[in-house]
């Protein structure tokens, strides 16, 4: 979200579309037309706006030839781990400088240009968890509709 | 292909007629200057043109364009819209990383690549030029593997023995994978010396660009660049590339 | 650190007094020529010297040395023993990949790095010089993360605006991680122009190497290289590096 | 194995040492002095000589301050998968040209310089399994000796 015009037009829309496409492909592989439930993991590093993502995803799904029962979002906290000294730490993007938070919002790997290990100063750290949007689970529905 | 982002990337590029990655395994042969000038000259011919900088750990097209990364703005609209710079749609990771160092392992490069291409709305373009890093690693393989059908690779080389081996290795990979090669550009060379090499590899020879001693003083200033023999030569090359001649 | 290979790598390098990786995020600034000549001049001073080529996807020190990869021999003894080339212990992945293209994603680079360093017995060396690829990615991070304490990084730059930004970014990473920097070498430059930059970054300025127009004709021939002003300047630099002056 | 002088001096020795060091570190972490069993996976891409590796490993362990009951080796066949077209294939290193087999024996990633996808010609393939030496399992012994 940055220079937002209409809420639903922000970049979460692009991510929602990729999820919708993924669902569509999974369904067509299995010859089905609806899923009962999808669980989407939101790594908080990316500061995704859940309401906007949800709105966009539902709008896109409406326009498609399949149905989705329940959409569940699970937040995942961020853990970073230094490969050099082994130190593990957490960051909370909501406390970051707005410009940095925005950069990481679009491309989470920008974290490598703003963070280093608090113990040894290395930038060679792993995003152990909490990077961004991913699909955790899709539970297919029955096909009779 | 279990990454959802890979599904939308082709859609984001659906309005782009031709994609030209500028490649050479060797660094310092002129990929960055040439890709930037290819975009600028193509645009000067009235073509809708884009420029993407894929050299994530050492981006530098913004320096040639004279763009200050601290002043770039992110425009969101169902994704992000590349900024217009000197008439071209321009995207570099520096819009997010500014001028900070950004060391990335391969896995991070892959994620940055997919994220960036999944959210960028290029719209309608005649040509998208892509500056790539040296070597043959994740950035190149992501391009070839997931966008291979849309690419026409421009190979850049200088007539140095260190560069020629690199060209042969790169051409081998492209040819055996049946990728389209737009041709070979010979840089920093007053006379064409690599025509024979191109012929042996059966790729088009696109022309030679002379060595211009004071080019570094003109980097970042389009008006000055426009008056150099490099611009002139790249304009000839872009005409050949776009089939105007 | 759950990779068993990482445990033996320090042992393989235990007899090596100093390790000098030659780095610059920018390609084409002269890393390969300079690292090779640093090794050759160091050896000419009577020091036991090694040279390792870490530019896996575009190896080229063998071209400077005039080594034919098809004729390199693998010597096994509780691992592998680098071959003696012009008096230096030399190892390049080309001993295995010959002149074939070897595109590698980051994960493959990491595996090749660890495998190679886990099996190579360097023995006693005064100095090991390491040629690195451009960019800042897996090869560099493996070096810095797992061998950081033994390294003294030699940064190479040219006075071009495209190279200077790269130096600043690289120096920032090294300084904030408290890595040792041996100094800055200015290449393709007839006058020292980067002393101020080195001073600002608080790194030693090791000297400038002039632009030598016909150097490409001498690549691969040590006797010819020895007679160039580049050799002379690198010899001065190696003396400074080794504390002989 | 290449220009072998004494059998046990070949490069398998270097790999055996890394395994021995790994065991030692695991034991010292746990404050133990012996392991009951170690399972070592040998991806056949690397054509490791099992007898030599075993001999070297036992020699090195003898010289150390810990004991190992049983050493089990498990071969793992090679599966390569093309990222471009999805094609999966197997290779049998024992049928390869000797020089290529040797190169891959030392650095399995040399596979990228000698192989391409048989279907589409891409070199962007994954070594799904069978790369080389890895430790699959360590079962600790008791500490009373
Ligand atoms: N035709 C040319 N004449 C003179 N210098 C050139 C020419 N082309 C490139 N250069 C210089 O060579 C260096 C490397 O160019 P660059 O475009 O950054 O190469 P690459 O992207 O392949 O690493 C830069 O300093 C650039 O100014
Ligand atoms: N001092 C110099 N004078 C003239 N040409 C040079 C000089 N140093 C390097 N070169 C040339 O520049 C090119 C790049 O050098 P190289 O060592 O391969 O750089 P890198 O390893 O940083 O990519 C080569 O063609 C080389 O011959
Ligand atoms: Mg935002
Ligand atoms: Mg470049
Ligand atoms: Mg080099
Ligand atoms: Mg062998
Ligand atoms: Ni957004
Ligand atoms: Ni062996
Ligand atoms: Zn750390
Ligand atoms: Zn394939």
Q: Which helix (H) or strand (E) holds C117?
A: helix C106-119
Task: Indicate the domain borders of chain B.
Answer: 5-241
Among residues C91, C129, C126, the alpha carbon closest in space to that of C112 is found at C91
The finding on whether C28 has its CB within 6 A of some atom of ligand 2 is yes
Residues of chain D with pLDDT under 50: 1-8
Rg over CA atoms, chain A: 18
Which sign does the torsion angle of CA A57, A62, A66, A68 carry? positive
β-bridge partners, B52: B91, B130
Check whether A6 has a pLDDT greater than 50: no
Q: End-to-end CA distance of chain B: give it in Å, rounded.
A: 40
- Taking the CA of residue D145 and the nearest CA in chain C, the distance in Å comes to 26
Alpha-carbon distance of C31 to C243, in angstroms, equals: 21
Q: How would DSSP label each residue in D38-107?
A: EEEEEEGGG---HHHHHHHHHHHHHTSS-EEEEEEEEEE--EEEETTT--EE---GGGS-HHHHHHHHH-
Angular region, A137: left φ>0, alpha ψ -120 to 50, beta rest: beta
Task: Indicate the domain borders of chain A.
Answer: 1-77+131-145, 78-129
CATH no., domain D1-77+131-145 = 3.30.2320.50
For residue A135, what pLDDT is reported?
Answer: 96
CB neighbour list of residue A6: distance below 8 Å, 6 or more residues apart:
none
- Taking the CA of residue A83 and the nearest CA in chain B, the distance in Å comes to 12
Q: State whether A18 and B80 contact (CB < 8 Å).
A: no
Total-model pTM: 0.96
**Nearest protein CA to atom 10 of ligand 1, as residue:** B30
Please give the structure tokens belonging to residue B135: 């070597």
Among residues C121, C139, C148, C172, the alpha carbon closest in space to that of C13 is found at C121
Tens-place pLDDT, residues C106-133: 999 999 999 999 999 999 999 999 999 9
For residue D144, what pLDDT is reported?
Answer: 53
| CB C134 within 8 Å of CB B134 | yes
Among residues D35, D17, D33, D27, the alpha carbon closest in space to that of D65 is found at D33
Mean pLDDT of the C14-20 span? 98
What is the CATH superfamily name and number for domain B5-241?
P-loop containing nucleotide triphosphate hydrolases (3.40.50.300)
Please give the structure tokens belonging to residue C230: 């580049």
For residue B192, what pLDDT is reported?
Answer: 97
Mutate to test the interface with B, among A5, A12, A14 (most CBs of B within 10 A): A14
Please give the structure tokens belonging to residue C235: 């010899």
Among residues C62, B116, C17, C139, the alpha carbon closest in space to that of A106 is found at B116
For residue C245, what pLDDT is reported?
Answer: 59
Q: How far is the CA of C170 from the centre of ligand 9 (A)?
A: 18
Q: State whether D114 and C100 contact (CB < 8 Å).
A: yes
**Smallest CA–CA distance from B59 into chain C, residue:** C166
Q: How far is the CA of B35 from the centre of ligand 7 (A)?
A: 29
A78-129: which CATH topology? Rubrerythrin, domain 2 (2.20.28)
Angular region, B102: left φ>0, alpha ψ -120 to 50, beta rest: beta
- Check if D1-77+131-145 and D78-129 are the same fold: no
For residue D8, what pLDDT is reported?
Answer: 44
Burial tier of C2 (Cβ tally within 10 Å: 0-12, 13-18, 19+): exposed
**Nearest protein CA to atom 27 of ligand 2, as residue:** C216
Check whether C197 has a pLDDT greater than 60: yes
Alpha-carbon distance of D11 to C109, in angstroms, equals: 20
Rg over CA atoms, chain D: 18
Tens-place pLDDT, residues C142-195: 999 999 999 999 999 999 988 888 899 999 999 999 999 999 999 999 999 999
SS (HEC) of chain A? CCCCCCHHHCCHHHHHHHHHHHHHHHHHHHCCCEEEEEEEEEEHHHCCCHHHHHHHHHHHHHCCCCEEEEEEEEEECCEEEECCCCCEECCCHHHCCHHHHHHHHHCHHHHHHHCCCCCCCCCCEEEEECCCEEEEEEEECCCCC
**Smallest CA–CA distance from C103 into chain D, residue:** D112
| b/e per residue B61-86 (b: at least 16 CB within 10 A) | bbbbbebebeebebbbbbbbbbbebb
Among residues B32, B192, B188, the alpha carbon closest in space to that of C213 is found at B188
For residue B2, what pLDDT is reported?
Answer: 84
**Smallest CA–CA distance from D81 into chain B, residue:** B1
For residue D142, what pLDDT is reported?
Answer: 80
Cβ contact A–D (≥3 pairs, < 8 Å)? no
| b/e per residue D90-125 (b: at least 16 CB within 10 A) | ebebeebeeebbbbbbbbbbbbbbbbbbeebbbbbb
Q: Other CB atoms closer than 10 Å to residue D32's CB: what's the count?
A: 14
Write out chain B's pLDDT in tens, 245 residues: 589 999 999 999 999 999 999 999 999 999 999 999 999 999 999 999 999 999 999 999 999 999 999 998 899 999 999 999 999 999 999 999 999 999 999 999 999 999 999 999 999 999 999 999 999 999 999 999 999 999 999 999 999 988 888 899 999 999 999 999 999 999 999 999 999 999 999 999 999 999 999 999 999 999 999 999 999 999 999 999 998 75
Rg over CA atoms, chain C: 17
Please state whether beta strands C80-81 and A125-129 pair in parallel, antiparallel, or not at all (unpaired): unpaired
β-bridge partners, A133: A42
Tens-place pLDDT, residues C46-96: 999 999 999 999 999 999 999 999 998 899 999 999 999 999 999 999 999
| CB D74 within 8 Å of CB D43 | no
Q: State whether C162 and B60 contact (CB < 8 Å).
A: yes
Q: How far is the CA of D10 from the centre of ligand 8 (A)?
A: 5
| b/e per residue B100-136 (b: at least 16 CB within 10 A) | bbbbbbbbbbbbbbbbbbbbbbbeebbbbbbbbbbbb
The finding on whether C209 has its CB within 6 A of some atom of ligand 2 is yes
For residue B172, what pLDDT is reported?
Answer: 96
B175 CB near a chain C CB, below 8 Å?
A: no
| b/e per residue A25-35 (b: at least 16 CB within 10 A) | ebbeeeeebbb
Among residues D141, D125, D116, the alpha carbon closest in space to that of D33 is found at D141
Interaxial angle between packed helices B229-241 and B31-44, expressed in degrees from 0 to 180 and rounded to the nearest 10: 70
Check whether A9 has a pLDDT greater than 80: no
Tens-place pLDDT, residues D44-66: 999 999 999 999 999 999 999 99
Which sign does the torsion angle of CA B98, B100, B103, B108 carry? negative
| Pocket residue to mutate for ligand 2, from C215, C218, C231, most atoms within 8 A of Cβ | C215
Please give the structure tokens belonging to residue B124: 């309608």
- Taking the CA of residue D83 and the nearest CA in chain B, the distance in Å comes to 7
Please give the structure tokens belonging to residue B134: 């040296």
**Model confidence band, residue C220 (pLDDT cutoffs 50, 70, 90):** very high
Torsion over CA of B156, B159, B161 and B162, rounded to 10 degrees?
-30
CB neighbour list of residue B152: distance below 8 Å, 6 or more residues apart:
B18, B19, B20, B180, B181, B182
CA distances from D41 to C1, C217, D37, D48, D96 (A): 19, 49, 13, 11, 21
Q: State whether B177 and D84 contact (CB < 8 Å).
A: yes
| CB B64 within 8 Å of CB B220 | yes
**Nearest protein CA to atom 11 of ligand 2, as residue:** C30
Q: State whether B105 and C25 contact (CB < 8 Å).
A: no
Which sign does the torsion angle of CA A37, A38, A41, A42 carry? negative
Q: State whether B109 and C109 contact (CB < 8 Å).
A: no
Q: Is D24 helix (H, G, I), strand (E, B) or coil?
A: helix
Check whether C29 has a pLDDT greater than 90: yes
Q: Which helix (H) or strand (E) holds C192?
A: none
CB neighbour list of residue A13: distance below 8 Å, 6 or more residues apart:
A52, A56, A60, B78, B79
For residue C21, what pLDDT is reported?
Answer: 98
Check whether A1 has a pLDDT greater than 50: no
For residue B231, what pLDDT is reported?
Answer: 98
Please give the structure tokens belonging to residue C240: 């400074």
Q: Is C207 helix (H, G, I), strand (E, B) or coil?
A: strand
For residue B165, what pLDDT is reported?
Answer: 85
For residue C243, what pLDDT is reported?
Answer: 87
């Amino acid at each position: 979200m940055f220079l937002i015009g209409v809420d639903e037009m922000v970049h979460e829309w692009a991510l929602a579309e990729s999820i919708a496409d993924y669902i569509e492909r999974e369904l067509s592989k299995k010859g089905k037309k609806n899923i009962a439930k999808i669980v989407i993991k939101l790594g908080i590093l990316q500061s995704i706006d859940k309401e906007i993502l949800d709105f966009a995803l539902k709008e896109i799904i409406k326009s498609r030839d399949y149905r989705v029962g329940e959409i569940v979002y699970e937040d995942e906290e961020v853990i970073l781990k230094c490969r050099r000294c082994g130190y593990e730490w957490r960051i909370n993007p909501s406390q970051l400088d707005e410009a940095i938070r925005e950069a990481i919002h679009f491309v989470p790997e920008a974290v490598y240009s703003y963070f280093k290990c608090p113990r040894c100063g290395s930038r060679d750290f792993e995003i152990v968890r909490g990077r961004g949007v991913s699909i955790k689970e899709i539970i297919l529905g029955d096909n009779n509709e | 292909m279990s990454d959802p982002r890979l599904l939308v990337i082709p859609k984001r590029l659906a309005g782009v007629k031709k994609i030209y990655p500028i490649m050479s395994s060797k660094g310092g042969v002129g990929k960055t200057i040439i890709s930037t000038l290819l975009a600028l000259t193509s645009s000067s011919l009235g073509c809708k043109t884009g420029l993407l900088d894929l050299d994530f750990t050492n981006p530098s097209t913004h320096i040639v364009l004279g763009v200050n990364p601290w002043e770039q703005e992110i425009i969101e609209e169902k994704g992000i819209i590349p900024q217009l710079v000197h008439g071209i749609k321009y995207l570099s990771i520096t819009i997010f990383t500014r001028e900070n160092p950004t060391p990335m392992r391969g896995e991070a490069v892959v994620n940055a690549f997919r994220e960036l291409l999944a959210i960028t709305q290029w719209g309608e373009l005649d040509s998208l030029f892509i500056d790539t890093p040296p070597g043959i690693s994740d950035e190149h393989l992501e391009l070839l593997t997931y966008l291979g059908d849309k690419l026409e690779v421009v190979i850049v080389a200088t007539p140095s023995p260190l560069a020629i081996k690199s060209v042969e290795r790169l051409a081998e990979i492209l040819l055996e994978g049946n990728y389209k090669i737009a041709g070979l550009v010979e840089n920093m060379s007053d006379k064409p010396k690599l025509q024979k090499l191109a012929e042996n590899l059966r790729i088009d020879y696109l022309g030679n660009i002379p060595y211009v001693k004071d080019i570094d003083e003109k980097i970042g200033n389009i008006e000055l660049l426009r008056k150099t023999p490099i611009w002139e030569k790249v304009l000839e090359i872009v005409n050949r590339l776009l089939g105007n001649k």
